[in-house]
Structure 1
């Protein structure tokens, strides 16, 4: 409770606005006579002479009044009909003794009208009402109360009520007290400089920073409604005066000891912190972060992006909200419910932001609903009741992709669905991957990218120390690489050498060695020839992991294509070194530089170039969501002028198995992909398998998973994975083509024949003895493949990925005589006369 409560009868709008920032207002009944918009925080005062029905009081509370202050007679009628915490009884000093225990226990406070500030009387009333609030209105003086009066009443545990005619935003006089003086009357400071520690929070109560306030700064903030604080060095600090990051003050309140303040504000501009962050205590999380990102996307989402579609397609957004609400209703475990609730909140907040509704508006609505005294029954509308009843009796459960399991003893299993029994409208859910919040991730990586762009190596060194925990003096290693940095076990070297030969042979065969030459008509020869992309950046995930295979898969096609500069980036280990296996591959593929950095900062360094890192023309390689987001962000930056290999998502495999499949082989293939991460996607299509045959595979999955060191990861990824029953191979391959998997493994009686039916896949593994692991390491094909369904339109990395194709044409004089009139006619048709003229001047020369 503030140091005082204002009683508003009539007052200037400026005063009322200032008062709403520091206190609830007491408004005489009826509130419709109030001179401005009814504030959110308000008490309604019902005088004795007013005859007010119980229903009128209930209506006031339902409409959002915090409490009603009513005469003793009306208070007795309201007890048991209205919650006690919403009633304050109005008493005169003369009828104080008429209060019964029933009244005392049925109200939350008392407003005492007394001619003078009788401390003994106020203390007695406080003792009688025990833990209830006591408000005191002095009626016997035309002068304004003093700061001393406010402190004296506060010392008894009561709160002084001051009529609005005695309040002002100007200087204190004998008839009016400045509201800031009244508000700060009870505030104390234990600091020598007399300043008050002040927490600045968002409108929803999330901390933005710690500052200091003085009486002068608080006075100005209350009056202007702007964030004004006291700098210990520079005096009054009007937030945003130079930066533009201004604040609108929503409320100013005291803590329980009256020795510190909280300002709740609407923050404009980049944020409160001098580092252009929303908060001095780190980046926003949860709902504030979601709101910030969505507001940003509303202003600047790229045309055609998913967020832009949501904002501009109400039907799509409505469908997503209904879809996610349904999935939340179907969720059962704690993890499922949290997952689905988050999805629903995301789309619900998107709708709110599109309509100009913020989280604070939602919270205000919740608070208003909580104030209602009379509530409707809350039954569902008939159409929803009917749907719920039908859902509860449905024999076919809707697809549910997410089923986290935390019990170590639980059977490690996948969800099973039958294509022949699945309603067509539910089939798309089986094809869906987890939602990739690419817009949110790009917003997170942008500050990192911008920092590297602006500060180059200095930023790269700082970010490497922060994220990779490696303190480096330099970020780039240039050839020749030292023997010490490449010292590896003989068997590992032998394996890498063998893999290098296979991968090199396959990718060398892909290169466009000779130009394509076609004579399209006599005297007109068109050709296409390949040229290497001059400078390429290869990202190899690393740090604690050792991934020489990725270095091979990216480095060999770059080498075969003839790229002039090959920059290989990989996170360093904590001691600042790179794994010797990766360094050995760097030598094999002829890397021109090794960048000891990971994450978005490495991608940015290669895209823009730094003092030591060469700029590249195209970026390749897998990585976590930070790496992927940075690649997607930079490919749209014309200053970077860099392209990327393909969008990337979690690893995935789809296995098609019939009755000839070895259950142990199938389970091993599923698990080899499931161990990548908790978001890995694993699908088994069972072609006309019996329950016993399917159970054999499931038992193998459980048994083999428990023997893996990464069983905790597998347990979560398998729980999100699918078994889809298909009646025949044709149906299985049709589903696979719709799914467009990164890896497709065929455990079929005639696997080679089935390859002809494959339309969408990153890489195909044909037959029982072609595990996906071979393609990952050493068979010769590339393991950098399209995920998340992008196999519908992208190829995996290959030699041509590192080349660009240039066309040329050579037209002889004889050829131009035939071709020229055709070109001129088409140019005239398009109204491009200069194009036509370029032909006709030559034709005229030939005729002459």
Structure 2
């Protein structure tokens, strides 16, 4: 049904001024109109969320990109008012034409009739001054047409009524409307506009009125007049016209009053529908919910449950469900399973009824009504963004029916799962023949598929599981800001004493109390990292004269706002704060925000605070995981929004970075999809076994999801045993031996014959860290195609790259070294190009430009050149 009118509101003040309609009155009208600009998109999305079930929102979006328009439609906008260009783009996306209104480009009769030609969508004429002109083209347009919306330069009641009588919908600013014309005679009466086209075939001129609850259940039949409708809108109550007593304020004597929800006309404009919330005993004078008897079905169940919640009889099973959430949870899971296993119509209906009972009990216990549920169903039914629709992996593994007859495929199982931390010395993780050892493969004795499988990274969960866990966290932080950020920090970091999610600069000296040797180590590392990244600066812009008079240039500018994720978890990593912060400082980023998980007492390790101070960070976000990434991507009350997020992390951090980088509303990029640490060591007979083992273990101690690879080139059994002995001896002495064992469980040794084969496998694996402990290591570097960072020779342990040499340790993992570089100065810089042509230059290149524009049929492009050159 088309609305009788639209109340136009300003999104920056959606509550409307005191002399206009209240939000509740807008709900009575049922429809509102708002203009949305790029600056108010977020306001519009918030407004849509807050108005679900109150009224339909119609949005003017002429200045918005298509992605924003689709987001608004997906969030629940009833219709969007668009330009013809936007109309074509939305149609290409298969957006329903019922959701689109074409804003007419002009106000002349000819412009409008031409614009309407071939159009099947609703149309909108904006800011009309000449009402007679609109009347003329409306009459010519006819009545068998889509809806027409009209707003006015100077709204007057007569003009709005005339437009309404021509079956068009007036759009009136809310502050110029009123539900109380006697108190506000200068405003336009909502009741008058609502009833403009109402007709009655009764001798007394009254209108048949069906009264329903919010679920659409008919409560009874009454009669209305223009006066009773106006009074109902004014009071917000069910007010009708009694054929005997005049105005009838429902429930005035009995107490069974009605709260007005909305008023509308039917398709023939001869019957009114009042939607109300009935209070007291019910609508009927016989004290039943409806004049047709009691509720039944779900409505009856809801009433019963609400009664039981208020006063359950002693020993009531339903009362017990309300008082025992675990019992209720168990029953919901039980009944859902039984419904899944049911096969006959009778059994499916029986089990579905049980599930509805327990699900509705859960809703009533939480104060959620059937009306709330149905509003959510309605909101979901108009979403335009398509989801894949697969079940979460946690449930797909349970999807085999109890009878076991149906095979479930594509359970998204990871190829190789990362081990957990061993629970005891008897736990076999990482243990082979009683020793800590990696599995060994001799490549000449194995099929290529076996080696390829052995080189696959471990995964704790499938990507779908991780994204499924991260997305609601990101959505919560996006919607609720600091409050959600703190909730997740309390939950995941156990820092329940934390009350503020951000530590702002300048950081108190008391938080940076460190031993002198630690400060010296950080200062040395800081300076080496600064020198190496400062050397990457471009001395001057690139300027090239591509042909006489045509000068092209490229110049760099720092990214303004960067967010740096510093992992916490099982290790303290101030080095990451330096590796990410120093190049940001060197690049000249104006705003540097760090995020790192706090300790359980809510504090941060002083080493990280000192590093943040050294690089000039404006704040430290006291959070980790997906919640920290979301806070920096979208911003909160306390966390500044950033333009790019950099830094390593676990699978959840990586997934969160990928999610926000793919969200156009976030407007944030990332450095790379970084994951758990990994190292690949290539060693030949010249390598020191102790050195090799120490390099492998330096990455294995990062976490149980880390992976280390040894490629042994031409080593015999004695040489291999020497490395394995060192690995066991050194690992057993480490304080994080249990974590090392978890990583060693899925780490391998590949024995190859030649250095060429070894580097081929290394390039296939594309390691984060590549260590060359081979003869003529510098010469072997020429064979390296894929690696995050290379460590050359026996005196270059990977540790120096992690801390103090000067190279960056934030590197691509999971094989992404095939596509990505590690963090460097360029990670914090964007390049801008420019062109500068003289007249001679345009004459030289213009012919080529015009010809290509002609070939591509872009005539305006061609003319931009031809006009300047004075050619046809």
Matching of residue 191 in structure 1 with residue 321 in structure 2:
no
Higher Cα radius of gyration: 1
Which residue in 1 is equivalent to 2:458?
434
Which residue among 785, 801, 818 is the counterpart of 1:792?
A: 818
Matching of residue 804 in structure 1 with residue 792 in structure 2:
no
Mapped to 2, the partners of 1:223 and 1:491 lie a distance apart of 69
Of residues 514-523 and 745-754 in structure 1, the stretch that sits farther from structure 2 once superposed is: 514-523
Mapped to 2, the partners of 1:538 and 1:753 lie a distance apart of 36
Deviations 1:143-197 (A, max 9, x none): xxxxxxxxxxxxxxxxxxxxxxxxxxxx9xxxxxxxxxxxxxxxxx982557464
Distance 1:227 1:693, change over 3 A: same
Distance 1:447 1:346, change over 3 A: closer
Which residue in 2 is equivalent to 1:616?
642
Mapped to 2, the partners of 1:841 and 1:233 lie a distance apart of 69
Deviations 1:269-327 (A, max 9, x none): 999xxxxxxxxxxxxxxxxxxxxxxxx9x97249xxxx9xxx9xxxxxxxxxxxxxxxx
Mapped to 1, the partners of 2:605 and 2:363 lie a distance apart of 51
Matching of residue 242 in structure 1 with residue 372 in structure 2:
yes
1:346 deviates by 6.6
SS in 2 for 1:443: helix
Are the counterparts in 2 of residues 221 and 228 from structure 1 also a CA contact under 8 Å? no
1:455 deviates by 1.3
Deviations 1:354-396 (A, max 9, x none): xxxx95562233599xxxxxxxxxxxxxxxxxxxxxxxxxxxx
Distance 1:445 1:747, change over 3 A: same
Distance 1:461 1:652, change over 3 A: same
Are the counterparts in 2 of residues 401 and 430 from structure 1 also a CA contact under 8 Å? no
Which residue in 2 is equivalent to 1:300?
387
Mapped to 2, the partners of 1:527 and 1:799 lie a distance apart of 20
Mapped to 1, the partners of 2:374 and 2:844 lie a distance apart of 67
SS in 1 for 2:627: helix
1:835-846 correspondence runs (5 A)? 835-844=861-870
Matching of residue 552 in structure 1 with residue 682 in structure 2:
no
Distance 1:493 1:224, change over 3 A: closer
Which residue in 2 is equivalent to 1:496?
522
Which residue in 2 is equivalent to 1:680?
706
Mapped to 2, the partners of 1:771 and 1:627 lie a distance apart of 27
Distance 1:724 1:815, change over 3 A: same
Which residue among 577, 591, 604 is the counterpart of 1:578?
A: 604
Mapped to 2, the partners of 1:456 and 1:223 lie a distance apart of 38
Are the counterparts in 1 of residues 363 and 369 from structure 2 also a CA contact under 8 Å? no
1:796 deviates by 0.4
Deviations 1:430-455 (A, max 9, x none): 32112452221111111211111111
Are the counterparts in 2 of residues 544 and 573 from structure 1 also a CA contact under 8 Å? no
Which residue among 471, 480, 487 is the counterpart of 1:462?
A: 487
Which residue in 2 is equivalent to 1:590?
616
Are the counterparts in 2 of residues 204 and 359 from structure 1 also a CA contact under 8 Å? no
Mapped to 2, the partners of 1:670 and 1:236 lie a distance apart of 53
Mapped to 2, the partners of 1:400 and 1:222 lie a distance apart of 39
Distance 1:202 1:360, change over 3 A: farther
Which residue in 2 is equivalent to 1:737?
763
**Runs of 4 or more above 3 Å deviation:** 192-204, 220-226, 228-242, 268-271, 358-361, 364-368, 399-405
Are the counterparts in 2 of residues 513 and 530 from structure 1 also a CA contact under 8 Å? no
Mapped to 2, the partners of 1:550 and 1:837 lie a distance apart of 54
Which residue in 1 is equivalent to 2:440?
416
Matching of residue 814 in structure 1 with residue 814 in structure 2:
no
Mapped to 2, the partners of 1:245 and 1:701 lie a distance apart of 62
Which residue in 2 is equivalent to 1:43?
none
1:466 deviates by 2.1
* TM-score normalised by the chain length of structure 2: 0.56
Are the counterparts in 2 of residues 228 and 239 from structure 1 also a CA contact under 8 Å? no
Distance 1:242 1:750, change over 3 A: same
SS in 2 for 1:504: helix
SS in 2 for 1:242: helix
Distance 1:556 1:364, change over 3 A: same
1:166-245 correspondence runs (5 A)? 191=314, 195=318, 197=320, 199=328, 205=334, 227-228=356-357, 240=370, 242-244=372-374
Deviations 1:600-622 (A, max 9, x none): 21111111111111100001111
Are the counterparts in 1 of residues 419 and 705 from structure 2 also a CA contact under 8 Å? no
SS in 2 for 1:420: helix
SS in 2 for 1:445: helix
Mapped to 2, the partners of 1:720 and 1:713 lie a distance apart of 12
Mapped to 2, the partners of 1:607 and 1:455 lie a distance apart of 14
Mapped to 2, the partners of 1:799 and 1:517 lie a distance apart of 21
SS in 1 for 2:705: coil
Are the counterparts in 2 of residues 227 and 238 from structure 1 also a CA contact under 8 Å? no
SS in 1 for 2:728: helix
Are the counterparts in 2 of residues 742 and 786 from structure 1 also a CA contact under 8 Å? yes
Which residue in 1 is equivalent to 2:305?
none
Mapped to 2, the partners of 1:590 and 1:237 lie a distance apart of 49
1:717-732 correspondence runs (5 A)? 717-732=743-758
Matching of residue 762 in structure 1 with residue 754 in structure 2:
no
1:522 deviates by 1.0
Mapped to 2, the partners of 1:410 and 1:458 lie a distance apart of 50
Mapped to 1, the partners of 2:375 and 2:393 lie a distance apart of 27
SS in 1 for 2:697: helix
Mapped to 1, the partners of 2:364 and 2:685 lie a distance apart of 81
1:628 deviates by 1.8
1:635 deviates by 0.8
1:477 deviates by 2.2
Distance 1:668 1:270, change over 3 A: farther
Mapped to 2, the partners of 1:702 and 1:269 lie a distance apart of 62
Of residues 476-485 and 751-760 in structure 1, the stretch that sits farther from structure 2 once superposed is: 476-485
1:462 deviates by 2.3
Which residue in 2 is equivalent to 1:484?
510
Mapped to 1, the partners of 2:317 and 2:789 lie a distance apart of 71
Deviations 1:668-722 (A, max 9, x none): 1111111111121111111111111111111111111111111112122112111
Are the counterparts in 1 of residues 532 and 807 from structure 2 also a CA contact under 8 Å? yes
Which residue in 2 is equivalent to 1:452?
477
RMSD over equivalenced CA pairs, Å: 3.7
1:576 deviates by 2.2
Which residue in 2 is equivalent to 1:116?
none
Which residue in 2 is equivalent to 1:41?
none
Are the counterparts in 1 of residues 486 and 501 from structure 2 also a CA contact under 8 Å? yes
Deviations 1:534-581 (A, max 9, x none): 000001122674211000000001001110000011122223222111
Distance 1:202 1:753, change over 3 A: farther
Mapped to 1, the partners of 2:364 and 2:717 lie a distance apart of 78
Mapped to 1, the partners of 2:762 and 2:365 lie a distance apart of 69
Mapped to 1, the partners of 2:352 and 2:402 lie a distance apart of 26
Which residue among 420, 425, 450 is the counterpart of 2:449?
A: 425
Distance 1:836 1:626, change over 3 A: same
Distance 1:454 1:764, change over 3 A: same
SS in 2 for 1:823: helix
How many residue pairs align between the two structures?
526
